[in-house]
Structure 1
């Protein structure tokens, strides 16, 4: 089991270096898309600044608290699509029988599939969140380390939930609409104060759409460190990774090959 984890990490790092070198071949396009996304995300700062200029707090959160949510979610979201750029295409690949190439290679198929591409604009999301965090908190080793750690756990949870949803397509056909809906829910719930949610929604945020462990709890830990909550975030991250792997590989047993033959001249 440990060997498989090490192999997956090595594969992810290999694809990361390869994808980075690929996008850097077109530096102008890379910079335009990256800074364009940073500017796009920055527009929301003014919205929240104007809002909090008129109210003291929302759901127990102040302006800085909400910006902390944005910084972790933006960087986590960015990392997930920088490292796992093929996340959005899994259902299409399953339905079109395009997994054959990955299944024939001596590598973990799931890691191989999701890491084989990167999304250039996601670099902008990643940088935006990091810059925002540094502006809010300055450069302090401990808080910066925690921020990077929780951005990675947020990315892993986000990616695992998306993979789990895509894996339903092995049984139910096209679930792109469901995946899109879950993606929007995770993003939307993550960037608003936790205090405005109650009742059933509160339970959903701990389970099906685990934004509590993606952003809410990490923000609390960064402001006031708690080993118990840190362990909880890590355990939930591992749990979602296991759920994603089990769901995908059980569904893979029902996969029908597309018998695609590609001629290379």
Structure 2
């Protein structure tokens, strides 16, 4: 584990250094993403003004919490593990060969190999929202941090699971893209607006609700049992996603690409 953390930290430093090499592009993409997110919050504010201050039991401040948590969790996932969304391309093109040549864990190497410039804007935006909505509420910040950490792991695990299907079915890029869109949409809206079947999906097959909506509930009314269940289920899902990838890797057929990564 210590070795893997060192590898991940090293790859993060290299990715950050690469991003900062083109600072104008880095800052433009980060700022652009934060600005795009802000426009959605404006429309939410208008909706709450028109509907009397509550939607499906959520206040505007509650929505700011789930938006902040979703934004920073998604941002952190793509700062650290952006290559999860690239797994299908690596499998189909045979570029995964380059990762197999290196003497370290393949999954860690693959996930941490790339970062997203715009994701830094998502990450910062969540903190800005929390500062505006809960600047003096320590408990809200505590559950925000919990949600961001769990959410980043679950976003990455769900994306990885969807793209790992490429080992079995061929090109699963469309499934991966749709899965990412579904997970984001489940995250940024109050969960009570969905029917029972969709809510069950949000807490099982695509369990992002555990990291976004559960922390809000725990902030409102803390329950040790709920907290432990959400934490345990989130970590279990991440472990199963890793196992699923490892099993799929056994089915991988080399692309015979004569290249390696430094």
Q: Deviations over 1:133-181 (max 9, x none)?
A: 1111005555324322320110101111111111111010011111111
Contact 1:34/1:120 (8 A) holds in 2? yes
5 Å-filtered alignment, 1:28-43, equals: 28-43=24-39
Higher mean C-alpha deviation, range 153-162 or range 135-144:
135-144
Change (3 A) 1:130 1:200: same
5 Å-filtered alignment, 1:68-87, equals: 68-87=65-84
User: Which 5+ residue runs of structure 1 have no aligned equivalent?
Assistant: none
Contact 1:35/1:124 (8 A) holds in 2? yes
Tell me, yes or no, if structure 1 residue 16 matches structure 2 residue 7.
Answer: no
Q: Secondary structure at the match of 1:107?
A: coil
1:47 to 25, 43, 50: 43
5 Å-filtered alignment, 1:1-265, equals: 5-56=1-52, 57-262=54-259
Cα drift, residue 6 of structure 1: 2.6
| Alpha-carbon distance in structure 2 between the residues aligned to 1:228 and 1:260 | 50
User: TM-score of the superposition, structure 2-length normalised?
Assistant: 0.94
Q: Secondary structure at the match of 2:56?
A: coil
| Alpha-carbon distance in structure 2 between the residues aligned to 1:153 and 1:59 | 25
Q: Deviations over 1:173-226 (max 9, x none)?
A: 011111111111100011111111122112111111213202110112233333
| Alpha-carbon distance in structure 2 between the residues aligned to 1:51 and 1:92 | 40
Contact 2:94/2:256 (8 A) holds in 1? yes
Change (3 A) 1:106 1:141: farther
Contact 1:58/1:195 (8 A) holds in 2? no
Contact 1:97/1:258 (8 A) holds in 2? yes
| Alpha-carbon distance in structure 1 between the residues aligned to 2:117 and 2:260 | 29
| Alpha-carbon distance in structure 2 between the residues aligned to 1:11 and 1:146 | 28
Contact 1:69/1:191 (8 A) holds in 2? yes
Higher mean C-alpha deviation, range 9-18 or range 208-217:
9-18
| Alpha-carbon distance in structure 1 between the residues aligned to 2:3 and 2:215 | 28
Paired residue total:
260
| Alpha-carbon distance in structure 2 between the residues aligned to 1:256 and 1:165 | 19
RMSD value, Cα: 1.6
